Amino acid sequence: MKISVKKLHPEATLPTYGSDFAAGADLYALSPEPIRIAPGETVLVHTGIAMEIPEGYGGFLYARSGLATKKGLAPANKVGVIDADYRGEIMVALHNHSSEEREIAQGERIAQLVIAPFLKASFEEAEELCDSVRGAGGFGSTGK
C-alpha cells in the first residue's frame, strides 16, 4: 500500500520502518530547538508532515517502546487516531510520565504509526441485549 506524504517543512522526515517486519513506522520530531518536557507535562511535537490515508483505513499513533520505557515519554491520549479525511500536520502529544525533565531533539523518533483497516458500525438503540456468559460483569470479572 502506498501512502502519499507531504512534507510541510524541508527538514521534515518521512515515516520509516525500523525492520522488514515492523508493524509501525517511526515518526520523527521536527523542532529547530530541543523540546523540554517537564515531569507530568504534555507537549505537542510537530512532525512537519501531512498524509493521505486511504478510505476505510486509519492511522493509529502508538508509543515507541524504547522512548516509553527508557524516558517515560508516550502519547498522552495513549493511541492517537488519524482519520482518512484529515490532511493537516501530524502532531504527537507526548506526555512525560517520568519524574525528571526529558528532552526531544530534532529528528528523534517520537511515535510509531500503524495503518490499519477498520469497520464502521451502525448503532441502533435496543431495549434489551442478548445474554452472554459474562453479562454485565465489569473489570476483572472474567477471573484469573
46 falls within a domain: yes
Name the residue with higher pLDDT: 90 or 137.
90
CATH code for the domain in which residue 29 is found = 2.70.40.10
Which of these, 50, 49, 27, lies nearest to 104 by C-alpha position? 27
Strand partners, 58: 116
Instruction: Please count the structural domains in the chain.
Output: 1
Structural domain boundaries, residue 86? 4-117
| Pure H helices in 47-103 | 65-71
Give the chain's mean pLDDT: 95
What integer pLDDT is reported at residue 31 of this predicted model? 96
137 falls within a domain: no
The pTM assigned to this predicted structure is 0.89
The residue-averaged pLDDT of 87-97 equals: 98
